Amino acid sequence: MKILFVMRHGGYVRNYEGVLRQLAAEGHRVHIAVELDRNKMGEDIVGQNLAREVPAVTMGRAPVPEDGVWSRAARVDRLLIDFLRYTHPQYKAATGLRTRAERTVPRTFRPFLHLVQRFGAAGGALVTGVLRDLESVIPLSVDVTEFLRSQAPDVVLVTPLVDPGSIQVDYIKSARALGIPVALAVASWDNLTNKGAIRVVPDKVFVWNAAQIEEAVTLHGVPRDRVVATGAQIFDHWFSWKPSRTREQFCETMGLDPSRPIILYLGSSSFIAPNEAGFGLRWLSALRSSADEVVAGANILIRPHPSNATQWAGLDLEQWPRTSLWPPAGADFFAPEFKHDFFDSLYFSTAVVGVNTSAQIEAAIVGRIVCTVTSSDFTHSQGGTLHFHHLVNGGLVEIARDLNEHAAHLGVMLRGGGEQAERSRRFVEYFVRPFGIDQPATPRLAAAIVDLGSHPVAKDNPDTAVTRLARQLLYPLAWFVADMPDRRPWWVYVLMRPPLFLFVQAWALPYRLRNAALAVPRLSKSWAREAEKSTRRFVLDPWKEGVKRVRNRSRYLVHRVRVNTRVIGARVLRLLTR
């Protein structure tokens, strides 16, 4: 069958590379359509290599919906839905996520959102329902619909869909109108909790585990029978990997002492840890000054997050022995050796530390649990995010209240905490491979995609008589929303500026009258002096002054005649040459 996979950018190919290869091996054709031609970190290299190596896989640009009144109004509608999902009671502590979502909404509409927030979850749910109904009135994108017709796929997949104001909603609507089965493939462990909303429900939603099933149902309103758990296919290759070198060779490369245990620090993204390097300095200082000699003398290896590595580049580690930052600044994070370095770092480490990152899941696959410490730097990204609780509830994370307790936890790990492997195994079975530790997710997801394409779906008619009528009635509102500038709210210009202008003018009037009164004597003296000078000139030499005036006037008249002649000539020439 023909499978169309619409992705935000080429970087998402790495999340599904194994699945795409398996589909191609089974005889299916796959076309990857990316919205953004983004390659700032080399994200699309995986997709380009895949398309070169596998003839059944092709890759190209996805059309961007045409710009117009309805498309701009649709983006505003979707951004409002994305923000209002954070009025759900589960997001009470998610101040960082709420603030980030608010920044994506045009400034004009933020007072409206604040008003809705006053009514709590009930008000948010009510307004969200209205906005979802408005989404159904928005017409299909002509460009997207024609693209789907030209591709003629048997099944359409989209990912991640939950980006702010995502245009992938248009692909779901057009696919349903054409009778093509369409599904959302959830790309990561945090997509359903800290991104936007699923504004239009597709035929299927492919998730990792039971926890994400509950998130899709309770947080996004997806019917339970449309959610399919397949496991986390992105981690399948980790279960078969072996270290690429010996421990001694690894330590030599990293500049570490092979006779001492290794503490591995896993960096987080910029949203999770915007000031991570500053925390890293305090963390290093606390460990090196620890009373526990094993902790103080251990090797420390810091691996920054690929998208947040810049802030670590200027970190001076010379003052701390047996401390290394790897890979160095400027490394290619998508090179094959990068993954092998990462796996070896996990495999040879004795203790793993991290704030909140998917690398902690990979540590669990290798048999490690993760130590972390609560800090005011990360309040918004630990307790303020729902996906962090997966790590806590799954028993993967050992949380310390301060750096001293954190050092004590590390001491236990470095001395061989026997329950590490069992705790990490339980988490992997719960979160990564819910069908069994030896059951990979890649074949399950590939089979679910094929099964979706083998069952025809009914066409959804987006142009009923009621919808067309509502579209005509709501067009003025759509035009108003689409063309509203992203500046101050309209009521500032209508209700505040006119009375404020009148108040300022009234307040300034007495000062203007006083200044005018003071200016009258000065003007009178000036006028008297000028009159005296003019009279003197005309009395003393009237003939000379008269001649001068006539000469100046005649020169002016000649100048005007020349100017008018040139203007009239130019106009006549234009008329003759049309």
- The 3-state secondary structure of 92-109 reads CCCHHHHHHHHHHCCHHH
Strand partners, 263: 300, 351
pLDDT value at position 545?
66
Per-residue confidence (pLDDT) for residue 259, from 0 to 100? 93
Contact of 276 with 309, CB cutoff 8 Å = no
pLDDT at residue number 120: 86
Class of domain 237-431: alpha beta
Taking all residues of the chain, what is their mean pLDDT, rounded to a whole number?
Answer: 86
pLDDT at 218: 93
The per-residue pLDDT for 538 is 57
Task: Output the pLDDT for position 493.
Answer: 61
Integer Cα distance of 362 and 342 in angstroms: 10
Q: Is residue 525's pLDDT more than 90?
A: no
> What single-letter amino acid sits at 529?
R
Is pLDDT of 404 > 80?
A: yes
Q: Which residues pair with 302 in a beta bridge?
A: 265, 325
Average pLDDT over residues 417-432: 85
Query: Model confidence at 39, in pLDDT bands (50, 70, 90)?
Result: low
Confidence label for 179 from pLDDT (cuts 50, 70 and 90): very high
For the chain, counts of helices (H) and of strands (E): 23, 13
**pLDDT at site 286:** 92
- pTM score of the predicted model: 0.79
For residue 422, the model assigns a pLDDT of: 86
| Percentage, residues of the chain above pLDDT 90 | 48
Q: Are 224 and 203 in contact (CB under 8 A)?
A: no
CA–CA distance, 16 with 399 (Å, rounded to integer): 32
Q: What is the pLDDT of residue 45?
A: 82
pLDDT at 276 over 90: no
211 pLDDT band (50/70/90 cuts)?
very high
pLDDT over 60 at 540, yes or no:
no
Q: What angle do CA 18, 23, 26 make, to 5 degrees?
A: 125
CA distance 356 to 221: 27
The confidence band for 256, taking pLDDT boundaries of 50, 70 and 90, is very high
- Range name among 184-188, 448-452, 495-499 with the lowest pLDDT average: 495-499
Using one digit for the tens of pLDDT, what is the confidence trace for 348-367? Answer: 999 999 888 888 999 999 99
Helix, strand, or coil here: 337? helix
pLDDT at 569 over 90: no
Closest CA to 198 of 180, 212, 177: 212
Q: Say what the alpha-carbon torsion angle 107, 272, 230, 204 is, to the nearest 10 degrees.
A: 0
Per-position b or e across 117-140, b if 16+ CB within 10 A of its CB: beeeeeebeebbeebbebbebbbb
Report the CATH superfamily, name and number, of domain 2-66+142-231+442-456: Glycogen Phosphorylase B; (3.40.50.2000)
- In which element (H, E) is residue 205 found? strand 204-207
Which residue matches tokens 């009375």?
499
Per-residue pLDDT band for 310 (boundaries 50, 70, 90) equals: confident
Contacts of 444 (CB under 8 A, 6+ apart): 230, 231, 233, 435
- Per-residue model confidence (pLDDT) at position 107: 84
Sequence-distant (6+) residues with CB within 8 A of 270 are 305, 307, 308
Averaging pLDDT over each range in 178-182, 412-416, 461-465, which range is the top one? 178-182
The tens digit of pLDDT for each residue in 42-58 reads 667 888 889 999 999 99
